[in-house]
Amino acid sequence: MRFESVFRQYSWNDVKAAIYSKTAKDVEMALEKKQRGLEDFMALISPAAAPYLERMALISRQLTQQRFGKTIQLYVPLYLSNECQNICTYCGFSYDNPLKRKTLSGAEILQEVNAIREMGYEHVLLVTGEASQTVGLEYFMKVMPLIRRHFSQISMEVQPMDQEDYEQLIPLGLHSVLVYQETYHEEDYRKHHPKGKKSRFSYRLETPDRLGLAGIHKIGLGVLIGLEDWRTDSFFTALHLDYLQRTYWQTRYSISFPRLRPFSGGLAPKVDMKDRELVQLICAYRLFNEDVELSLSTRESEKFRDHLVQLGITTMSAGSKTNPGGYAVDPQSLEQFEISDERSAATIAAMIREQGYEPVWKDWSPVFGG
């Protein structure tokens, strides 16, 4: 059994109607429970929950501190390449977007690594476009040993791969893989991904299954908020998370909240999510699942990120560059998307400490398992 068989049991329109039909009574019943299921999650992300945001935030804060303590994990993305064979309507790296393409060499990677290490990071997220001939398994097999010497934790956000590929990368230091479905609305998914391997909706949908079967330590989920109705997409993310935790119970999980950001010639959001609604969604996930890690990137503004430290977020990026070579090699190359919070990693760490929390630069060490 794979997640797609679970996914096919649900209708997008029926789920959307169910969410928007939730009442204040449904929200109150969900808030009173100690253990909450998918129906409760529907209520907590519904418009009916908006007046209960302060209460949701208080519970979210308590549950997060109870499970994670007063800590915020810090990570930084390392963009290795902007080469991509997909056409994606919302991405600066899209195949049809005219830009100078670059893939970092081993020497250039080490320059970037040195700059990132000077910032204090022990956790790095490797990011590329989706170009299997250029930045496929062979490339990662070559560069992972170079990077592994310098970091205790390596995550990856690249093209979905086969189970056997992940099994080869895990011994080289791969700790976590982030794979966003972008949207669970199949028709809109195909509209936004008309060309390339990414156009295969089902293959992407079952990537977390392949990761679980490969024995990866952590899987990251999420959708690109703005492509479709965020409440319905978030329900399907929660459904996916629930299935994965039941099936691959030894794996850890995280959820990210990327809101559609502009790039040169980019796509305007179909659905505009307000800041207050994103807070509602983050708190709803925490009330639904006390163990899942919740991550917020530098796509969001300084003020907004500062306020989220105490409300349920467990992981933040800081000092990010979204272009290959952005830290040392080629700072002027085209970014994948615009950064909103441009503060340095040191400044973000100081902000976290000012709120009584501890910034965590090293969350995992290979000596503890594998």
Is 300 domain-assigned?
yes
State the pLDDT at residue 268: 77
Average the pLDDT over each of 14-23, 50-59, 125-134, 199-208 and give the range with the smallest value. Answer: 125-134
> From CA 79, how far away is CA 263, in angstroms rounded?
16
85 class by beta-carbon count within 10 Å (0-12 exposed, 13-18 middle, 19+ buried)? middle
> What would the pLDDT profile of 104-158 be if each residue is shown by its tens digit?
999 999 999 999 999 999 999 999 988 888 999 999 999 999 999 999 999 999 9
Please report the sign of the dihedral spanned by the C-alpha atoms of residue 212, residue 215, residue 218, residue 220: negative
Structural element, H or E, at residue 327: none
Is 20 domain-assigned?
no
State the pLDDT at residue 336: 53
The domain total for the chain is 1
Is 19 domain-assigned?
no
Is 279 domain-assigned?
no
Q: How much is the mean pLDDT over the chain?
A: 92
> From CA 118, how far away is CA 187, in angstroms rounded?
45
CATH assignment at residue 98: 3.20.20.70
Strands (E), 297-350: 315-317
6-42: b (≥16 Cβ within 10 Å) or e: ebeeeebeebbebbeebeeebbeebbeeeebeeebbb
State the pLDDT at residue 265: 46
pTM beyond 0.75, yes or no:
yes
Is 222 domain-assigned?
yes
| Structural domain range at position 207 | 70-230+249-273+290-363
Residue whose token pair is 């293959």? 203
> What would the pLDDT profile of 253-307 be if each residue is shown by its tens digit?
999 999 987 554 467 788 889 999 999 999 999 999 999 999 999 989 999 999 9
> From CA 191, how far away is CA 96, in angstroms rounded?
15
Is 18 domain-assigned?
no
Is 25 domain-assigned?
no
Strands (E), the chain: 71-79, 123-127, 153-157, 174-178, 218-221, 252-256, 293-296, 315-317, 358-360
